[in-house]
Amino acid sequence: MIEENKESDVQNIEEKEEDKKRSNILINILIIFVIIVVSILMYAKYVGTKGIVVKEYLLQSEFIPDNFSGVKIIYISDLLYGGTVSLKDVEELIDKVNERKPDIVLFGGGMILEDYKISKKDKNSLIEAFNNIDATLGKYAVKGSSDNEEYNELLTNMGFIVLNNEYDLIYRENKEPICLSGIGSYNLGEYDLVKAFSFFDTNPNCFTIAFTHEPDILDKISSLEHRPNILFSGNSLGGEVNIPFYGPILKLEGCNKYFLDYYDKDNIKLYVSSGIGTKKYNMRLFNKPSFNFYRLKS
């Protein structure tokens, strides 16, 4: 009987030790999981939002005039200054833009974070920074859905020509031009496609680049009789957090249908910029701040 009690006590001790080991393993797994999650969040907030990436594309078409072959275009959107973007980030952006010696620079809206109270010092710093961009054929901009009444004045002082459902014929070497059309905000209902593409009445064969803020306007543009060859847009922010094999987790208004980098619909090539700043999560994961850089080839 004594021997049986001893064996039972030993078995109980062993079971308690096994339970303690299992408990320690679970605690360690939980601690590791918490550390990983916190590390990912810290990375996304303080590292993922910094360091600007340049996404490069070759735009090749038989419709591009020979005199525009080799022309370089940069499209920037969603700076959203005042959130995760500081003046230092703006200066990095300008340096990267100028390194590529662009011929045309387009700004697709979203200059200031909507809730940020911009100061006079901020405005002057931004004006000085963007005036340092040297674009041989011009700098153009459109309005985004969060841009207020001061936006046009700010852009004008930065040296941009604001195209509000307007167009410009861009000439190079005094030969055949290309057409550039700026389209108003889709979310605000400020777009006027008839006005924006009115040049087709006299220039039906003009190679046309359109740019706007929200990409979901593509469906309306693709229904037109005369359509642009290329459409640039922004607003999506690449979802801010982009999960591998799943995609962006955040779909903002105006980019519910078109939110990836590239689409081709009805012979319109749509390129969507992931932008520089952030709106909702104040973090970026697998989705560094970026702007798009294009080379034309006839």
Question: Does residue 45 have a pLDDT over 60?
Answer: yes
Task: State the residue range of the domain holding 206.
Answer: 52-297
Are 35 and 116 in the same domain? Answer: no
State the pLDDT at residue 21. Answer: 78
Residues 74 and 188 reside in one and the same domain: yes
Q: Check whether residue 31 and residue 100 sit in a common domain.
A: no
Residue 31, H or E segment? helix 2-46
Rounded mean pLDDT, 32-53: 93
What is the pTM for the complete model shown?
Answer: 0.91
The pLDDT, as a whole number, for residue 220 is 98
- Model confidence pLDDT, tens digit, residues 270-297: 999 999 999 988 999 999 999 999 999 9
Question: 227 and 133 in one domain?
Answer: yes
Q: Can you give the pLDDT at residue 150?
A: 83
| pLDDT at 4 > cutoff 60 | no
CATH of the domain at 56: 3.60.21
For residue 6, the model assigns a pLDDT of 56
Helix 120-130 and helix 87-99: axis angle, to 10°?
Answer: 10
Residue 264 has pLDDT above 70, yes or no: yes
pLDDT class of 5 with cuts at 50, 70, 90: low
pLDDT at residue 13, rounded to an integer: 63
- Mean pLDDT over 240-262 rounds to 93
What strands, in cross-sheet order, belong to the sheet with 230-233? 166-170, 178-182, 208-211, 230-233, 268-272, 262-265
173 shares its domain with 262: yes
Note whether 32 and 139 are same-domain residues.
no
Residues 32 and 74 in one domain: no
Residues 154 and 272 in one domain: yes
Of 31, 46, 61, which residue sits at a domain end? 46
Find the helix or strand (DSSP H, E) in which 91 lies.
Answer: helix 87-99
Q: How many domains does the chain have?
A: 2
Q: For residue 70, what are its two tokens?
A: 């080799």
158, 130 contact by CB (below 8 A): yes
User: Are 21 and 103 within one domain?
Assistant: no
- Spatial neighbors of 69 by CB under 8 A, at least 6 apart, are 296, 297, 298
Cα 240 to the chain's mean position, in Å?
Answer: 9
Instruction: Give the C-alpha separation, 9 to 16, whole Å.
Output: 11
Domain end (from 46, 61, 77): 46
Total residues found in the chain within this entry: 298
Tell me the average pLDDT across 18-24. Answer: 76
**Average confidence score pLDDT of the chain:** 93
Q: Confidence class of residue 142 from pLDDT cuts 50, 70 and 90? A: very high
- Does one domain contain both 10 and 111? no
- In sequence order, the β-bridge partners of residue 23 are none
| Higher per-residue pLDDT: 8 or 84 | 84
Q: How confident is the model at residue 10 (pLDDT cuts 50, 70, 90)?
A: low
Query: For residues 264, 266, 267 and 271, what is the CA-based torsion angle, rounded to 10 degrees?
Result: -30
**In the structure, what pLDDT confidence band is assigned to residue 24 with cuts at 50, 70 and 90?**
confident
150 and 30, same domain (yes or no): no
The percentage of the chain sitting over the pLDDT mark of 70, rounded to a whole number, equals 94
Judge if 221 and 156 occupy the same domain.
yes
